[in-house]
Amino acid sequence: MKNRDVASDRTDRVLVLNSGSSSIKYQLLEPVSGVVDASGIVERIGEGNGAIEQRADGEITRRAERVADHTTGLRLVFDTLSAAGRDVLSEGVFAVGHRVVHGGETFYRPTLIDDGVLTAISELSSLAPLHNPANVAGIESVRELLPSVPQVAVFDTAFFHGLPAAAKTYAIDGEIAAAHGIRRYGFHGTSHEYVCGQAAELLGRDPAQLNQIIFHLGNGASASAVQGGRPVDTSMGLTPLEGLVMGSRPGDLDPGIVSHLMRSAHLDIDQVDTLLNRDSGIKGLSGVNDFRELQRLMANGDSAALLAYDVYIHRLRHYLGAYLVELGAVDAITFTAGVGENTPRVRADAVAGLERFGIAVDPVANAARARAARRISPPDAPVAVLVVPTNEELAIARAARRVVAESGCASAR
C-alpha cells in the first residue's frame, strides 16, 4: 500500500466495495494516482463471529464483533476508517464503485446506479445466485448510509459482452438457451481488461495492435484470448465454474457427471452446487485450496498434491493451445493474480517445450521476485511472456470516477 505524503481533498476519494454473501472487501483510494488510504475486509456477516481487518498507513486493525447484515458491516467499515483518520460519513467520497458479478445481457459498461439499475441487477440473480444478491445488499447499504453519494456498478462480465457468437454460444437447444439466458458470459473481466492495457503499456504498444493471451490465476482462475484489445474467447461461461482448475472449483467437466451424481450418489441440487463451488478443484484433489499450501505438500512428495498440480497445469496448457490457434499469432502471454504473479513454477510449466512457437521464459527473469509488471521471456523471443499485477479496485475506482464525472452528478458533500 502506498502512503499518502500530502493531505489532500478526501472527497476526490472513491470507495470500492466487493460485497460477497458473508463478506465486504473494501478499499478507499484516489483513482488517478492509485494512492490507497485504507483497505480491508469484513467477514462472517450474519454469523455469530464477525470480524473486520483493515490496513491503513502500514498499520493493521482487527476487531471482532457480531455483524448482523451488510448495513451493519458497512457501518463497521466506516467506524474503522474513521478511527484511522478517514471519516467517510462526514467528509463523503466522490463515488462508491461496486464490483457486480453478473451483468447478464443488460450491462456491458460501468453504470451509474439508479432504481432501475438496482432492480435489473437484482433480477439477474438467477444467473448468479451466490453473488448478485450480495451486490444488491451492498448497494442498498450505501444508499442508506451515504444517500447523496453516487454509486457505480462495474460488472465482472462486461469486458466479454461482445464475444463472437461462435465463442459465446453453447451447443444446446437455441430456444431453451434464449429463454434462460444461457450463453458464455465470462468473468474476471475487469482484471482481464486492466491487465490487457497494462501489458500493452509495458510493451510500449497500442493494444489495438496486439494479440494477447491472459491467465488470471487466483483462487478463481480464467483465461482470455484478446485480439486487438477485444476479447474473442474466455474460459469461464454462464457461471464462474467453467474453464481452468481453480482453488475449489473444477473448471471444465463432463456435464454428465452432474446427472450421474444425482442419480448414483443421490446428491440434490444444493449438494452438487456445494461440491462444485467449494469442494472441487485443487481442494477436491489435494485437500487444500491455497496454492502455497499445495506447494508445501508437493515439496513433501504428497502424491495427491502432485496430481492436483499436474491436472492444473494440463488444463492451463489446454487453453493456451486453444487460444494460440484461435488467435493465429500471439504477441504476449500474461500471468496475473495471486498464483500467476507469485508462482514461477506455474509460469514455467505452462509454457514448457513451446520454443518452436516462439514461446519461452528466461529462468532467471522468471524466478526474480518483483512487484512491478515485467517481462520474463528472453529479450529476443518472438512472444513476450509477462507478469502483470492486476488491480481490480483501481480499475473500478477509475471507472466510477469517469462515469460520475461524465454524468455531471458529483456527490453533495
Annotated catalytic sites, by residue?
156
CB of 374 to ligand AMP, least distance (A): 15
Q: Are 249 and 241 in contact (CB under 8 A)?
A: yes
Kindly report the number of other CB atoms within 10 A of residue 266's CB atom. 8
245 binds ligand AMP (CB under 6 A): no
Q: Which stretch binds ligand AMP (CB under 6 A): 66-74, 82-90, 306-314, 333-341?
A: 333-341
- Give the residue with the Cβ less far from ligand AMP, 216 or 401: 216
List the one residue out of 347, 338, 261, 279 whose CA is nearest residue 312. Answer: 347
Q: Are 102 and 185 in contact (CB under 8 A)?
A: yes
List the one residue out of 142, 189, 144, 182 whose CA is nearest residue 162. Answer: 189
Taking CA atoms, 27 is separated from 119, 188, 303, 384, 396, in Å, by 25, 18, 40, 32, 10
- Give the residue with the Cβ less far from ligand AMP, 293 or 326: 293
CB of 341 to ligand AMP, least distance (A): 7
Q: Which stretch binds ligand AMP (CB under 6 A): 73-81, 130-138, 151-159, 331-339?
A: 331-339
For ligand AMP, the binding residue among 82, 342, 362, 378 (CB under 6 A) is 342
The one-character DSSP state at 11 is G
Task: State the cell numbers at 100.
Answer: 457486480
CB of 94 to ligand AMP, least distance (A): 26
In this structure, the chain runs to a length of 413
CB of 72 to ligand AMP, least distance (A): 26
For ligand AMP, the binding residue among 343, 366, 377, 391 (CB under 6 A) is 343
290 binds ligand AMP (CB under 6 A): yes
For ligand AMP, the binding residue among 50, 103, 218, 237 (CB under 6 A) is 218
List the one residue out of 5, 16, 7, 9 whose CA is nearest residue 401. Answer: 16
Residue nearest to ligand AMP (CB): 338
- Give the residue with the Cβ less far from ligand AMP, 56 or 337: 337
- Give the residue with the Cβ less far from ligand AMP, 219 or 271: 219
For ligand AMP, the binding residue among 50, 150, 247, 250 (CB under 6 A) is 247
**Beta partners for 169?**
none
- Give the residue with the Cβ less far from ligand AMP, 43 or 331: 43
- Give the residue with the Cβ less far from ligand AMP, 154 or 404: 154
219 binds ligand AMP (CB under 6 A): yes
For residues 199 and 87, what is the distance between their CA atoms, to the nearest angstrom? 36
214 binds ligand AMP (CB under 6 A): no
CB of 312 to ligand AMP, least distance (A): 11
296 binds ligand AMP (CB under 6 A): no
241 binds ligand AMP (CB under 6 A): no
- Give the residue with the Cβ less far from ligand AMP, 142 or 236: 236
CB of 190 to ligand AMP, least distance (A): 13
The one-character DSSP state at 89 is H
Task: State the cell numbers at 195.
Answer: 491487465
CB of 282 to ligand AMP, least distance (A): 8
Task: State the cell numbers at 244.
Answer: 481452468
Sheet of strand 221-227, all strands in order from the earlier edge strand to the far edge: 230-234, 221-227, 211-217, 332-336, 384-387, 374-375
Q: Are 306 and 287 in contact (CB under 8 A)?
A: no
For ligand AMP, the binding residue among 100, 203, 298, 339 (CB under 6 A) is 339
- Give the residue with the Cβ less far from ligand AMP, 121 or 214: 214
338 binds ligand AMP (CB under 6 A): yes
CB-based contacts of 409-413 (< 8 A; 24+ apart in sequence): 409/112, 409/150, 410/94, 410/150, 411/11, 411/92, 411/93, 411/94, 411/95, 411/148, 411/149, 411/150, 412/92, 412/148, 413/11, 413/91, 413/92, 413/148
Total site size for ligand AMP, rule CB under 6 A: 11
Residue 338 half-sphere exposure toward CB, CA atoms < 13 A: 10
125 binds ligand AMP (CB under 6 A): no
348 binds ligand AMP (CB under 6 A): no
CB-based contacts of 258-265 (< 8 A; 24+ apart in sequence): none
Q: Which stretch binds ligand AMP (CB under 6 A): 72-80, 146-154, 193-201, 332-340?
A: 332-340
**Residues near ligand AMP (CB under 6 A):** 218-219, 247, 290-292, 337-339, 342-343
